C-alpha cells in the first residue's frame, strides 16, 4: 500500500511534507511552487524531502514534480480516516498533517514540516482536528508556526497539554499564531538550538512519549485577526463546515489581505521545512550515519 521512493529509502535524514497545503492551502499552481521551495530548503539543509500523498491507489512517500502537479483543487483532503478509502477508490488524496503523520508512523519517519497544524476550532463543539490525535500516537517531531490562527489557539494548546504533546518554542516563550508571532499562550518549554531540540525530542521518545511540536514563529508577522473573524462569519453564513472551513478561510484571507497572508504562509512553510531538515540532519549525524 505504501510506496517509498528510492531516494527516500536510501536517505539517512528524511523530512516528511504534506500535500493538503499544496492542493487546498493556496491558489491553483501556487501550492506546487510552495512544495518545491520546501523541498529545496530541505535538501539545502542536508536532508531528503519525503512529500506524501495518495496517487493511483498507492500511498506515495517521495513525489516527483510531475506527481506533485496532480495535487490540485480537485484532490480529496485526506486525513487519517480517508487514507484507506482513497487507496481503494484511486482518488488523488492530499494528506493533512494527521494523514501524513499516520503514514510517517507506518514508514518510520521521525521529522516533518508544515505551516500550521489543525486544532480545536472556534465555535461549534467537537470540530477538533485529527492532527492532534495523530500527534498523540506518532513519535515524530512536527515543525509548524503553531496552530492556525483561525482556530481557538489557547484551546488547541490546552488540548495538546491533555495529550501530553510537548510544544517547544523555537527561540520563543509563546506559541506563535501562524501568521503572527505574538499573542499566543506560553510554550511548554523554550529551545534555542537544534541540539537542544534533538535532546528534548529523544528524551521524550525514550520515555515512551510520541509527537513533539516545535513551534517556530514566522519571520514577519501579519495581524489579520479582524479578517479572520470576518471570514469565519462568512463561512458560517454560507454553510461552509467541517473540512471545508480551513481552505475557505485561508483563500479569503489571501485575497482580503492583498496577498500578505499568502506571502507570509509561503515563507513560514519553507522556513519550517528547513528547520525540520536541520534537526533531521543533526539526528543522522548523531547516529553516525550522515
Residues annotated as part of the active site: 18, 148
Cβ(117)–Cβ(89) below 8 Å? no
274 binds ligand PSU (CB under 6 A): no
Residue 129 found at the interface with ligand PSU (CB under 6 A):
yes
Q: Is 127 or 230 the residue whose CB approaches Mn ion more closely?
A: 127
Residues that bind Mn ion (CB under 5 A): 127, 129
Q: Which residues contact 58 (CB under 8 A, 6 or more apart)?
A: 1, 2, 3, 87
Query: Considering the complex, what minimum distance in angstroms separates the CB of residue 271 from Mn ion?
Result: 25
Nearer to ligand PSU, 24 or 177 (CB): 24
Least Å distance, CB 9 to ligand PSU, is: 24
Q: Which is nearer to Mn ion, 69 or 127 (CB)?
A: 127
**156 near ligand PSU (CB under 6 A):** no
Q: Is residue 52 near ligand PSU by the rule CB under 6 A?
A: no
Q: Which of 38, 110, 114, 174 binds ligand PSU (CB under 6 A)?
A: 114
What track of x and - describes contact with ligand PSU for positions 240 through 259 (by CB under 6 A)? ---x--x---x---------
How many amino acids of this chain bind ligand PSU (CB under 6 A)?
19
Nearer to ligand PSU, 110 or 246 (CB): 246
CB distance 181 to 218 below 8 Å: yes
**Whether the Cβ atoms of residue 136 and residue 210 lie closer than 8 Å to each other:** yes
Binding site for ligand PSU (CB under 6 A): 18, 20-21, 24-25, 96-98, 114-116, 118, 129, 131, 243, 246, 250, 265, 269
Amino acid at each position: 500500500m505504501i510506496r517509498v521512493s528510492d531516494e527516500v529509502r536510501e536517505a539517512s535524514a528524511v523530512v516528511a511534507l504534506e500535500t493538503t497545503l499544496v492542493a487546498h492551502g493556496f491558489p491553483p499552481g501556487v501550492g506546487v511552487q510552495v512544495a518545491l521551495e520546501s523541498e529545496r530548503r530541505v535538501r539545502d539543509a542536508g536532508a531528503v524531502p519525503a512529500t506524501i500523498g495518495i496517487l493511483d491507489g498507492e500511498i506515495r512517500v517521495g513525489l516527483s514534480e510531475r506527481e506533485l502537479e496532480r495535487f490540485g483543487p480537485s484532490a480529496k483532503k485526506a486525513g487519517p480516516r480517508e487514507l484507506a478509502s482513497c487507496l481503494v477508490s484511486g482518488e488523488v488524496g492530499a494528506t493533512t498533517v494527521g494523514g501524513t503523520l499516520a503514514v510517517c508512523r507506518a514508514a518510520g519517519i521521525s521529522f516533518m514540516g508544515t505551516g500550521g497544524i489543525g486544532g480545536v476550532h472556534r465555535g461549534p463543539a467537537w470540530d477538533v482536528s485529527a492532527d492532534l490525535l495523530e500527534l498523540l500516537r506518532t513519535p515524530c517531531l512536527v515543525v509548524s508556526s503553531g496552530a492556525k490562527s483561525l482556530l481557538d489557539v489557547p484551546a488547541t494548546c490546552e488540548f495538546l497539554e491533555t495529550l501530553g504533546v510537548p510544544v517547544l518554542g523555537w527561540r520563543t516563550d509563546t506559541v506563535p499564531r501562524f501568521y503572527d508571532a505574538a499573542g499566543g499562550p506560553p510554550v511548554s518549554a523554550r529551545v534555542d538550538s537544534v541540539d537542544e531540540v534533538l535532546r528534548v525530542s529523544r528524551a521524550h521518545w525514550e520515555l515512551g512519549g510520541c509527537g513533539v511540536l516545535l513551534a517556530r514563529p514566522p519571520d514577519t508577522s501579519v495581524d489579520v485577526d479582524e479578517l479572520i473573524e470576518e471570514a469565519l462569519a462568512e463561512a458560517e453564513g454560507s454553510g461552509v463546515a467541517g473540512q471545508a472551513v480551513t481552505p475557505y478561510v485561508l483563500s479569503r484571507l489571501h485575497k482580503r489581505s492583498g496577498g500578505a497572508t499568502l506571502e507570509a504562509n509561503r515563507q513560514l512553510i519553507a522556513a519550517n521545512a528547513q528547520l525540520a531538515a536541520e534537526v533531521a540532519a543533526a539526528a543522522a549525524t548523531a547516529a553516525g550515519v550522515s
